Amino acid sequence: MAEKADGAPYGPGGRGFYGAVTVSERGQISLPAQARRDLGISPGDKLLVLGDPEQGLALMTVDRILGNVDFSPVLKSAVREHIDEEDPEAGPRPEPGP
């Protein structure tokens, strides 16, 4: 496992390990600052929570998931519906390019 100059460990494909978080009684977590910096996550950004019974949870930005051509069309559709329900005035979102 390689390490960036700032000390964050990275594995194959640039996948990083940023430590552990604790779930509060209200189900909240705080994302480590280095993860937010490395991944460009800012206050107010919306993250999607994905789950896989065998692999666990993953957090992903809306743009990243909609731009992933290998992602399940069924889940992409569900994400689009969820986003449109939260922001009905936003109008239809364009399909991501190749």
For residues 8 and 36, the model is more confident at 36
Non-local (6+) Cβ contacts of 42 within 8 A are: 36
Non-local (6+) Cβ contacts of 79 within 8 A are: 48, 62, 65, 66
Grade residue 41 by pLDDT with cuts at 50, 70 and 90: very high
Res 25 pLDDT > 90: yes
Over residues 36-56, the mean pLDDT reads 91
Residue 12 is given by DSSP the state G
Res 93 pLDDT > 50: no
Grade residue 2 by pLDDT with cuts at 50, 70 and 90: low
60 forms beta bridges with 48
* Cα dihedral sign, 57-72-39-14: positive
Non-local (6+) Cβ contacts of 34 within 8 A are: 6, 8, 18
pLDDT of residue 56: 93
pLDDT of residue 9: 66
Over residues 68-91, the mean pLDDT reads 74
Estimate to the nearest angstrom the gap between the alpha carbon of 68 and the chain centroid.
12
